[in-house]
Amino acid sequence: MGAGKPSAPNYWKEAIMETKKFIRPVLNITIAFIPTIVVGLLISAEAFACASCGCTLSSDWENIQSPGASVTFKPGLSIDLRYDYLDQNQLRHGTGSISAIDASKITNDGNPQEVEKDTQNNYITLGVDYAIDRLWGINVQVPFIDRRHSTLGTNSNGITPGPGGMSYDSRTDGIGDIRITGRYQGFLRNCQYGVLGVMGGLKLPTGSFTEKGTSTDPTMPGDVPIDRGLQPGSGTTDVILGVYYSNSITEDWNCFAQALYQRALNFREDYRPGDSFGCNVGVRYAGISYFSPLVQFNLKYSNRDSGANADRYSTGGTLLYISPGVSVPIAGRHLSLYGFVQAPLYQDVNGVQLAPRFTTTVGMRYTF
């Protein structure tokens, strides 16, 4: 045979041998990262008030081509199209699950607790990244949100809606809040020490925050306002600040870490989302030519929402996820496909909130 793809038996034999090469190191490195995540979680709990709204949980991960995960020194444009599915179908209280009947017996600032049934989220996000040169870059994220939500309201017994409890069903779809961030990564001029960078930008109030649902309360027929935490947009302008680091562990292994802080700069219609802090740490194996496995740990930590139109009790918490994934290069490596499954390792929510049992993500990225 001439040069090119090996015969079928040798091809699969080589693929199996290369796969075996990474299994033991990935377990060792993954275990080595767990203490770091736990320490980070404890430090954050001392520095801030815990929060993460269960009504707006998202797959809080930076994909495999983020500045912190795969730094490109050559200027150029890349486009990313990602789909996230998140089904919030489990009621949680603190660090454990809770039944709808027990949830209805809890008070929220002296009032009956709202008992939510389910929230299904579909996100399609268009990401455009432009590396101006080896030091500077800009990234734009445009999300499209399709969300179905159902709640029994505040006067429910956990089984049926109660009178005057604002129970409703809703479906919202449309553009969410657009994020624009810039980055600079010129702090470590010697590449053997890795790449250290900072990023900053804004989340713009482009998503609607006035959508309505259909009442399921016979005493209050018609359209009713949807909770502000379930709207496609928050209505606020938020500042985003972050730092990231990427380096090679060995010839085939590289690691990355990223921390992001987000804070709303204003109230809008008596609502302000809580400040949030996110941290992503992961490793990637590049020793297999057919695909690249990757595992991340994702920490999200934010304050309760505030304002007269906010749920000031059942928002906020601390969430820790593990996100194994894989990317597959095709079309001369200009195009890559990727997928992730995200599973919770730790969930501590304020009040009573809906949380997902897992989330899934698939996407494609093209680099020009």
- Residue 213 is predicted with a pLDDT of 96
- Where are the chain's structural domains? 54-363
- Residue 46 is predicted with a pLDDT of 35
pTM of the model: 0.80
pLDDT of residue 85 exceeding 50: yes
Write the CB contacts of 250 (distance below 8 Å, at least 6 apart in sequence).
25
| Dist. CA 337–CA 292, nearest whole Å | 10
| Dist. CA 166–CA 186, nearest whole Å | 53
Cβ-contact 314, 356 below 8 angstroms: no
- Residue 7 is predicted with a pLDDT of 54
pLDDT of residue 116 exceeding 90: yes
pLDDT of residue 69 exceeding 70: no
Q: What is the pLDDT of residues 90-102, one digit of tens each?
A: 999 999 999 999 9
Q: Largest alpha-carbon pair distance within the chain?
A: 79
Cβ-contact 315, 54 below 8 angstroms: yes
Cβ-contact 51, 276 below 8 angstroms: yes
Q: Which CATH number is associated with domain 54-363?
A: 2.40.160.40
- Residue 218 is predicted with a pLDDT of 85
Write the CB contacts of 337 (distance below 8 Å, at least 6 apart in sequence).
327, 328, 330, 362, 363, 364
- Nearest CA-CA partner of 305 in 204, 234, 241, 356: 234
DSSP 368: -
- Strand pairing report for 107-108 and 292-302: unpaired
What backbone torsions phi and psi does residue 73 show, to the nearest 5 degrees? -90, -15
Confidence of residue 73 (pLDDT cuts 50, 70, 90): low
For 113-122, 185-194, 297-306, which range has the lowest pLDDT when averaged over its residues?
185-194
Q: What is the pLDDT of residues 173-221, one digit of tens each?
A: 999 999 999 999 888 876 678 889 999 999 999 999 999 999 999 888 8
Confidence of residue 65 (pLDDT cuts 50, 70, 90): very low
Confidence of residue 124 (pLDDT cuts 50, 70, 90): very high
For 11-20, 123-132, 151-160, 234-243, which range has the lowest pLDDT when averaged over its residues?
11-20
- Residue 250 is predicted with a pLDDT of 86
Cβ-contact 115, 100 below 8 angstroms: yes
Q: Which amino acid is at 80?
A: D
- Residue 194 is predicted with a pLDDT of 84
Facing residues of 78 across strands?
A: 129, 367
More confident residue, 336 or 206: 206
Helical residues (DSSP H) of the chain, grouped into ranges: 8-47, 100-103
- Nearest CA-CA partner of 288 in 258, 329, 256, 321: 329
Confidence of residue 43 (pLDDT cuts 50, 70, 90): very low
pLDDT of residue 139 exceeding 60: yes
